[in-house]
Structure 1
Amino acid sequence: MGALVRLDKYLADMGAGTRSEVKEYIRKGRITVGGKVVKQPDLKLDISQAEVYFDSRCIEYEALEYYMLNKPAGVVSATTDKHCKTVVELIETGKNKDLFPVGRLDKDTEGLLLITNDGDLAHRLLSPKKHVPKTYYAHIKGKVDEEDVIVFHSGIKLEDDFTTLPARLVIKKAGEVSEVEVTIYEGKFHQVKRMFEAVGKEVLYLKRLSMGDLVLDENLILGGYRKLTEEELNRLKG
């Protein structure tokens, strides 16, 4: 037997409406459980077995959800914002109203972002003690050379007296605008941009490719998302 949840909470948790709205739907006979109309909002359901329909739409209960998002520029890494669209608003198929982004990407940064409502997993991935690697692809104004590789590997002291852990810098193309991949092990505010500023260069474009064992699906268009596979989730939780 699975966990028991009130019918009104079950529906509200799965995004069918607010608690007061779903109570009204229930009273109007729009909800069936096991093929029978139910009008008791406080009916306790076994979430592992319940067959719940709202009108003709099946409402399956998912306590935890995990989405990989290819974040586009111009969208903020937040749950709500008065002025800009948020990454959570891009997850149109999300059932839970308590989804949030795991960590932040700057508004103008693209790439991998995990959206979930699993607070325990988020805490493990973001904990400073875990040193979860994050890899970015970047366009850099200025020629990146081997000296920069050495400096990044040695750790860079930023202006707030914070010194980064050794970072891995790989030069893909050197020139007036260089193309690089950089892996860092913290998640400080604007960290990659600040690290390149510290060596006299400027980040023109930034895209996150991976976070821990989670790698951006190259088939996801900007703004696209999908649920994590069981294998991806197991690796993250491993």
Structure 2
Amino acid sequence: MRLDKFLADVGLGSRKEVKVFIKKGQVQVNGETIKSDKFQVKEKLDQITFEGEKITYQKDFYYLLNKPQGVISATQDNYDETVLDLFSDEEYREDLFPVGRLDKDTEGLLLITNDGVLSHQLLSPKKHVEKEYYAHVAGIMTNEDITAFEAGVIISGEEQTLPAKLTIVSVDEAMHTSEIKLILHEGKFHQVKRMVAAVGKEVTYLKRIRMGNLYLPEDIELGSYRQLTEEELGKIKGE
């Protein structure tokens, strides 16, 4: 691998920027200063340093984010804070993007990566990757709603949803509210809210708690993120 590609892959800068670092003598390979951006390196074997700091090769990055309300699932926006705005300067990369989206007022699990292949696999309708949500509902959810969701419902715009699994966590008769969990196999626009509305109720709070085999850990606070563990990465890749 060319030295400039190695440095760009690990996020040190663009190919243009890292060429400047190399020419200035800021990069060493196995203790030797290299000033040619075309110099070939073995990314897993050679010891490469930038200004004396060792660089470990990593091409693909995977972050688990607990998205808060008020933040949009986009890479950039002129008006609203985006999920990438939550990243520190040290961990931000221009090639990162959210896998799918959560509504602005929805909280919970969002995968941030630069792995386009994995993103496609997780979002492809043919894969039917499960997405599980927890919600507060204004209204009493019933066994009839469970049956309706299992069959798929007609939501606004005359769209037919795929079968979904509804679990009623609790019901408060006095407050006329419910807590539910809902497992979807697709990702239509505002789908949870529209499905609940189709049976005459309203979602008042929504959080995604699972995507495929990846669960939202309880120890990640709203607005916080961390890299996936090897075990979590294996689960989300189906290994």
User: TM above 0.5, one fold?
Assistant: yes
Q: Which residue of 2 aligns with 1:112?
A: 109
2:145 match: 148
The one-letter code matched in structure 2 to 1:191 is Q
Q: Conserved in 2, the CA contact under 8 Å of 1:72 and 1:109?
A: yes
- Structure-1 residue corresponding to 2:28: 32
Which runs of structure 2 are paired with 1:85-234 in the superposition (5 Å)?
Answer: 85-92=81-88, 93-94=90-91, 96-175=93-172, 176-234=176-234
Q: TM-score, normalised by structure 1?
A: 0.91
SS of the equivalent of 1:217 reads coil
Contact 2:84/2:92, CA 8 A, preserved across alignment: no
The count of residues paired between Structure 1 and Structure 2 equals: 234
**Could you tell me how far apart the structure 1 residues matched to 2:10 and 2:84 are?**
15
Q: Distance in 1 between matches of 2:139 and 2:62?
A: 38
Query: After the TM superposition, which residues 8-47 of structure 1 pair with which residues of structure 2 at under 5 Å, given as runs?
Result: 8-47=4-43
Equivalent residues of 1:137, 1:209 under 8 A apart = yes
Tell me the CA shift for residue 123 of structure 1: 1.3
Residue 52 (str. 1) matches residue 48 (str. 2): yes
Gap regions ≥5 residues in structure 1? none
**Mean alpha-carbon deviation: is it higher for 195-204 or for 53-62?**
53-62
2: CA distance, partners of 1:50 / 1:167: 50
Q: Distance in 2 between matches of 1:53 and 1:119?
A: 28
Q: For each residue in 1:124-148, what CA deviation from the matched residue of structure 2 results, as whole angstroms up to 9, or x when unmatched?
A: 1111112111110111112222222
Query: Partner of 1:88: helix, strand, or coil?
Result: helix
1:152-204 C-alpha deviation (Å, 9 max, x unpaired): 12211112332112211111121323211111111011100111111121111
**Superposition TM-score, scaled by structure 2 size:** 0.91
SS in 1 for 2:180: strand
Whether the 8 Å CA contact 2:153–2:195 is kept in 1: the answer is yes
Question: Deviation of residue 23 (structure 1)?
Answer: 2.0
Question: Tell me, which stretches of 5 or more residues in structure 2 are unaligned?
Answer: none
Question: What is the Cα-based RMSD across aligned positions, in Å?
Answer: 1.7
Q: CA 1:95–1:79 in 2, change beyond 3 Å: closer, same or farther?
A: closer
Deviations, residues 8-29 of structure 1 (Å, cap 9, x unaligned): 2222232222333222222222
Distance, in Å, in 2 between the alignment partners of 1:14 and 1:97 is 12
CA contact (8 A) 1:14 1:96 kept: no
Shift in Å at residue 71 of structure 1? 1.0
**What amino acid does structure 2 have at the position aligned with 1:133?**
E
What's the % identity of the aligned pairs?
A: 53
Q: Secondary structure at the match of 1:44?
A: coil
